[in-house]
């Protein structure tokens, strides 16, 4: 027997992780990461196998049979269950410390935060690395070389949040070791090396990850303050004993507009645009209607709570704010009876009052011309101030304008004709 071991080193390009709420030690509404018995973040082998099988199905169909037979084939009378030739021996978390990010859901009709939906999500930062160890016995040389090419081109997405860019990874190292157990030397190497070094060291890959295909890529400038709360105070914060509502920041300490927030605003506005022009769309459905003719469901995905779901065709990425300027502003609630300030209701909020960021919507599946026009119509509404980002948009906050000279406003009459004339295409 001949044994081939593969070590694949993957690096996370965006925050993410595989969830495991049953392993969470925090009380309340925190979605924790899956962890191993030693409380380290864990990447399950089932997640790796499913993602790698799907990758082979798309780029190397002749290797798909190496992952066994089952699933849809098991319902047929002539189907035969067969195990996978490729084994996922395990994964090793190399580095990356998790953090918690606060999130809320968006009400589809109001375009604002939905009540009682505030929750927290534990994530690993961009730059986190995992080693994945695979084994393939008695593989033919040409299939071995083909599989190595497939691994080099692999760009997996692990865990929840693919529709807002979470868990995007790239292969940054690859190691391969062959052991011929039918020979004395091969058996000796297997017994000696696998005890001291269970898997081959991955060699760095020189190829840079392929650039995603962007359906929308525009730069925004902040017009007035943006506040997306739930963040931690920066290291140089000097607020004394005053409690401040801090903005969210990424792993590099930059204020950030989370992709989940952007996705909620974009979807809500896309549904509104479809309703205005008379195109088929959701009507305030909390989880989406799932109709084939509903473009927001086709673009942003949906789940109906009964197991029926559709994966999003786009991923709305986090948008770090560059050249930012922040301020801490005081506010007070108004007593509706006296018309004056209400006692004990003075509070402080951090705002990003200046800066710029990029709105990037990655195309995960095919988008037709009408889908793209709908997305750019929503961008136009953001530019015109008809919809804002973050908190207190009704008080003048959250306004942004497109500062990208390459962007052009779509023909809104053309958008209406496309949406109404191509439903279900």
Residue 30 maps to a domain: yes
Structure tokens, 373: 């026009």
pLDDT band (50, 70, 90) for residue 328: confident
Residue 209 maps to a domain: no
The range of the structural domain enclosing residue 304 comes to 214-421
Asked if residue 240 and residue 167 are part of one domain, the reply reads: no
Going by their DSSP bridges, the two strands 244-245 and 341-363 should be labelled as parallel
Name residue 220's beta-bridge partners: 357, 402
Name residue 151's beta-bridge partners: none
Structure tokens, 243: 């409690």
Residue 197 maps to a domain: yes
Please report the pLDDT score of residue 105 as a whole number: 74
Of the ranges 191-195, 245-249, 288-292, 315-319, the best mean pLDDT one? 315-319
Is residue 422 predicted with pLDDT exceeding 70? no
Asked if residue 295 and residue 197 are part of one domain, the reply reads: no
What average pLDDT score do residues 379-401 get? 88
Q: How far apart are CA 331 and CA 343, in angstroms?
A: 12
Give the phi and the psi of residue 190 in degrees, each rounded to 5: -65, -45
pLDDT band (50, 70, 90) for residue 235: low
Using one digit for the tens of pLDDT, what is the confidence trace for 290-324? 677 888 888 998 877 666 778 889 999 999 999 99
Asked if residue 221 and residue 75 are part of one domain, the reply reads: no
Residue 147 maps to a domain: yes
Of the ranges 17-26, 221-230, 312-321, 415-424, the best mean pLDDT one? 312-321
Count of positions (residues) in the chain: 425
Domain ends where: 170, 204, 238? 204
Asked if residue 165 and residue 41 are part of one domain, the reply reads: yes
What average pLDDT score do residues 159-169 get? 88
Contacts of residue 214, defined as CB under 8 A and 6 or more positions apart, other chains included, come to 360, 361, 362, 363
Is residue 424 predicted with pLDDT exceeding 70? no
Helices (H), 22-125: 45-59
Is residue 78 predicted with pLDDT exceeding 70? no
Residue 252 maps to a domain: yes
Is residue 74 predicted with pLDDT exceeding 60? no
Instruction: Please report, for residues 48, 223, 229, 286, 288, the alpha-carbon distance to residue 248 in angstroms, rounded to integers and kept in the order given.
Output: 30, 19, 6, 25, 28
Give the phi and the psi of residue 172 in degrees, each rounded to 5: -115, -5
Please report the pLDDT score of residue 311 as a whole number: 85
Lowest-pLDDT range, 50-54, 81-85, 261-265, 382-386?
Answer: 81-85
Lowest-pLDDT range, 3-7, 20-24, 189-193, 390-394?
Answer: 20-24
Which among 287, 297, 278, 324 is positioned nearest to 416, based on CA atoms?
278
Is residue 71 predicted with pLDDT exceeding 60? no
pLDDT band (50, 70, 90) for residue 425: very low
* Long-range CB pairs of 391-395, under 8 A, 24+ apart, other chains included: 391/113, 391/227, 391/228, 391/229, 392/227, 393/112
Q: How much of the chain exceeds pLDDT 90, in percent?
A: 34
What average pLDDT score do residues 404-422 get? 82
Which among 368, 402, 367, 397 is positioned nearest to 384, based on CA atoms?
402
User: What b-and-e string marks burial along 148-168, b requiring 16 or more CB atoms within 10 Å of the CB?
Assistant: eebbeebebbbbbbbbbbbbb
Domain ends where: 172, 204, 236? 204
Asked if residue 223 and residue 195 are part of one domain, the reply reads: no
Beta strands in 181-255 (DSSP E): 203-204, 214-222, 244-245
Residue 330 maps to a domain: yes
The CATH code of the domain that includes 34 is 3.30.70.1890
Is residue 76 predicted with pLDDT exceeding 70? no
Going by their DSSP bridges, the two strands 86-95 and 129-137 should be labelled as antiparallel
Helices (H), 60-181: 141-152
Q: How much of the chain exceeds pLDDT 70, in percent?
A: 88
For residues 207 and 297, which has the higher predicted lDDT (pLDDT)? 297
Is residue 240 predicted with pLDDT exceeding 90? no
Please report the pLDDT score of residue 25 as a whole number: 54
* Long-range CB pairs of 100-105, under 8 A, 24+ apart, other chains included: 100/30, 101/15, 101/230, 101/248, 101/258, 102/229, 102/230, 102/231, 102/248, 103/230, 103/258, 103/260, 103/261, 105/264
Asked if residue 229 and residue 115 are part of one domain, the reply reads: no
For residues 62 and 423, which has the higher predicted lDDT (pLDDT)? 62
What average pLDDT score do residues 117-121 get? 80
Asked if residue 251 and residue 158 are part of one domain, the reply reads: no
Beta strands in 96-231 (DSSP E): 99-103, 119-123, 129-137, 169-180, 203-204, 214-222
Residue 220 maps to a domain: yes
Using one digit for the tens of pLDDT, what is the confidence trace for 354-368? 999 999 999 998 999
How many domains in the chain? 2
Is residue 51 predicted with pLDDT exceeding 50? yes
Which among 76, 35, 70, 33 is positioned nearest to 49, based on CA atoms?
70
Residue 8 maps to a domain: yes
- Which sign does the torsion angle of CA 131, 137, 141, 144 carry? negative
Asked if residue 186 and residue 325 are part of one domain, the reply reads: no
What average pLDDT score do residues 318-331 get? 89
Domain ends where: 204, 229, 248? 204
Asked if residue 273 and residue 315 are part of one domain, the reply reads: yes
Asked if residue 220 and residue 182 are part of one domain, the reply reads: no
What separation, in Å, do the N-terminal and C-terminal C-alpha atoms of the chain show?
52
Please report the pLDDT score of residue 238 as a whole number: 66
Please say whether the beta carbons of 374 and 419 come within 8 A: yes
Asked if residue 109 and residue 90 are part of one domain, the reply reads: yes
Average pLDDT, the chain: 84
Asked if residue 303 and residue 190 are part of one domain, the reply reads: no
Is residue 237 predicted with pLDDT exceeding 60? yes
């Amino acid at each position: 027997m001949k044994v081939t071991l593969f070590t694949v080193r993957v690096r996370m390009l965006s925050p993410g992780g595989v969830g495991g709420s049953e392993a969470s030690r925090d009380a309340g509404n925190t979605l924790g990461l899956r962890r191993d018995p030693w409380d380290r973040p864990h990447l399950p082998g089932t997640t790796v196998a499913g993602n790698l099988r799907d990758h082979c199905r798309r780029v190397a169909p002749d290797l798909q049979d190496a992952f066994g037979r089952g699933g849809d084939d098991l319902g047929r009378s002539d189907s035969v269950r067969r195990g996978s030739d490729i084994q996922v021996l395990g994964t090793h978390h190399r580095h990356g410390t998790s953090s918690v990010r606060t999130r809320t859901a968006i009400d589809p009709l109001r375009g604002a935060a939905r009540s009682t939906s505030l929750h927290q999500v534990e994530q690993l930062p961009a730059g986190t690395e995992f080693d994945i160890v695979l084994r393939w016995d008695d593989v033919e040389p040409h299939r071995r070389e083909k599989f190595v090419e497939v691994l080099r081109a692999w760009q997996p997405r692990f865990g929840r949040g693919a529709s807002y860019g979470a868990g995007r990874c790239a292969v940054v190292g690859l190691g391969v070791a062959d052991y011929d157990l039918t020979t004395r030397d091969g058996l000796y190497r297997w017994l000696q090396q696998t005890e001291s070094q269970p898997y081959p060291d991955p060699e760095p890959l020189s190829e840079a990850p392929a650039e995603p295909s962007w359906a929308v890529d525009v730069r925004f400038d902040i017009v007035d303050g943006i506040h997306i709360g739930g963040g931690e105070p920066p290291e140089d914060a000097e607020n004394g004993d005053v409690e401040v509502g801090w903005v969210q920041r990424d792993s590099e300490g930059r204020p950030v507009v989370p992709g989940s927030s952007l996705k909620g605003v974009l979807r809500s506005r896309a549904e509104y645009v479809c309703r205005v022009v008379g195109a088929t769309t959701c009507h305030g459905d909390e989880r989406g209607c799932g109709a084939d003719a509903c473009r927001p469901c086709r673009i942003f995905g949906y789940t109906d709570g009964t197991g029926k779901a559709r994966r999003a065709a786009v991923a709305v990425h986090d948008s770090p704010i560059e050249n930012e300027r922040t301020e801490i502003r005081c506010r007070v609630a108004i007593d509706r009876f006296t018309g004056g300030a209400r006692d004990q209701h003075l509070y402080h909020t951090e705002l990003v009052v200046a800066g710029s960021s990029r709105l990037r919507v990655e195309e995960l599946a095919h988008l037709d011309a009408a889908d793209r026009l709908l997305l750019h119509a929503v961008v136009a509404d953001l530019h015109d101030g008809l919809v804002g980002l973050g908190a207190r948009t009704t008080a003048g906050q959250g306004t942004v304008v497109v500062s990208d000279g390459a962007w052009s406003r779509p023909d809104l009459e053309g958008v209406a004709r496309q949406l109404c004339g191509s439903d279900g295409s």
